[in-house]
Amino acid sequence: MDFSVDDDGAVDWQRSPGGLVSALEPVMQENEGAWVGWSGAPDLAHEPFEADGMMLVPVTLSASEIEKYYEGFSNDTLWPLYHDVIAPPAYHRQWWDSYRRVNQRFAEAAAAQAAQGGVVWVHDYQLQLVPKMLRDLRPDLRIGFFDHIPFPPVELFQQLPWRRNILEGLLGADLVGFQRGGDASNFVRAVRRLTDHPTRGSMISMEAADGTPSRRVRAAAFPISIDTMRFDELARSAEVQARAKEIRADLGDPDVVMLGVDRLDYTKGIRHRIKAYGEILQDGRIEAKNTTLVQVASPSRENVGAYQELREHVEVLVGRLNGEFGEIGHSAIHYLHHSYPPEEMAALYLAADVMLVTSLRDGMNLVAKEYIAARSDLDGVLVLSEFTGAADELAPGPLLVNPHDIDGMKDIIVAAAHLDPKEKRRRMRRLRRKVMADDVAKWSKTFLGVLTAMPSRDSHV
């Protein structure tokens, strides 16, 4: 949530974008739930308040905590470590201290709001210590945790000086959810290697203070999705379809429109994608005058050095290719460094013949699912990295690529641009069957169903 307070003390708030809020909002309303989250601005404090049938509980972060806890430990230590060390993680004790303090504040806020014997669902890598802290404060609670990003192999994870603290923090939950089965396995292997807790399959046994078994923790995959029906309806609207035609006209009505949509993040493979596309143009395998790549790169973590360097590198690559292959009235690449509302994104998806998702590592990648949900016309081709969670779910519908293999990626992109229309429809029909059936509401219902069915915390194993 993002909110502000005016001079009279009135609260103006708006819902954060994304499918997670859409999925959980009805669950929260039905169960009179409370949403505990950062207010979205430094040093902005406010008492909990009710809105749309939910209690919203703001947690205040100082400018220093945003720098050390969020930009520092969360996004310059954990993020690169959990994404296969694509960029080198930085390990600073001051950042860790801030991470620990902020996690304690979130745990205390949740403990104050939760009903006796209630359910608390903690989300993502910024709050990995909260489950144990919360259990220490409120042992009566049923606690779930969901990790939205990859969980690394133990050989990488053990670099982290506070590796045991993180594992013990997560083991405060009854159920720890991940995007892929491999992530859950990585977590269990890390527990086995770095702690004394016995494991059996996906279950970890926890002991009471006297050493006797007290409860079990389950680690499992729950692949997240999107609000597919809402996106499908949006893309079917006359306004969005008219806008899609307008976009193609504005691009000069090329034969092939390729599209990339990403946060400007080094894990997304944007440089690899642009390099492959540039070499295809250089080789003459696709004519620049008849082809356009639209790259939407939403601003992200602009105070982190690795992201500043990435932006400079990408913009140099784009400028070089447009200088070499662009013509008056036609650019080889249209590079857009800002975000768009869902309506414009749906129109872009409809306008694109080929969707390029070339992440080097991605927990899921919901852009791929949005593209599929938008294509009720059964047109369009999805080129998808093997290293996304979506690849586990969606194959064999997409054309899978290894973004580190530039030559292989070039071949797949060219094949996508010339794919037989019948083959396009066959693949897209298969993709839509999967995505439309497994939406984000089903994801949240499945996770919470497993969590509430877990044995009582004091059941012996």
Range of the domain at 277: 228-437
Answer yes or no: is 254 within a domain: yes
Assign 56 a pLDDT band (cuts: 50, 70, 90): confident
State the chain's mean pLDDT as an integer. Answer: 91
41 backbone dihedrals φ, ψ, rounded to 5°: -145, 150
Q: Looking at the structure, do residues 245 and 388 belong to the same domain, yes or no?
A: yes
- Total tally of structural domains belonging to the chain: 2
Answer yes or no: is 239 within a domain: yes
What's the confidence (pLDDT) of residue 21?
65
Assign 210 a pLDDT band (cuts: 50, 70, 90): confident
What's the confidence (pLDDT) of residue 299?
85
| DSSP 8-state symbol, 159 | T
C-alpha 435/C-alpha 447 separation (Å) is 18
Mean pLDDT of 254-275: 95
Would you give the distance in Å from CA 99 to the centre of its chain?
20
Q: What is the pLDDT of residues 141-165, one digit of tens each?
A: 999 999 999 999 999 999 999 999 9
Mean pLDDT of 21-27: 66
Mean pLDDT of 47-60: 83
What's the confidence (pLDDT) of residue 357?
98
Q: Looking at the structure, do residues 236 and 313 belong to the same domain, yes or no?
A: yes
Q: Which residues pair with 119 in a beta bridge?
A: 142
Answer yes or no: is 51 within a domain: no
pLDDT at 461 > cutoff 50 = no
Q: What is the pLDDT of residues 332-346, one digit of tens each?
A: 999 999 889 999 999
Q: Looking at the structure, do residues 447 and 431 belong to the same domain, yes or no?
A: no
Q: Looking at the structure, do residues 356 and 402 belong to the same domain, yes or no?
A: yes
Answer yes or no: is 306 within a domain: yes
Would you give the distance in Å from CA 274 to the centre of its chain?
22
Answer yes or no: is 299 within a domain: yes
Q: What is the pLDDT of residues 374-411, one digit of tens each?
A: 999 999 999 999 999 999 999 899 999 999 999 999 99
The CATH number assigned to the domain holding 299 equals 3.40.50.2000
Assign 32 a pLDDT band (cuts: 50, 70, 90): confident
- DSSP one-letter string for 226-291: --HHHHHHHHHSHHHHHHHHHHHHHTT--SEEEEEEEES-GGG-HHHHHHHHHHHHHHTSS-GGGE
pLDDT at 17 > cutoff 60 = no
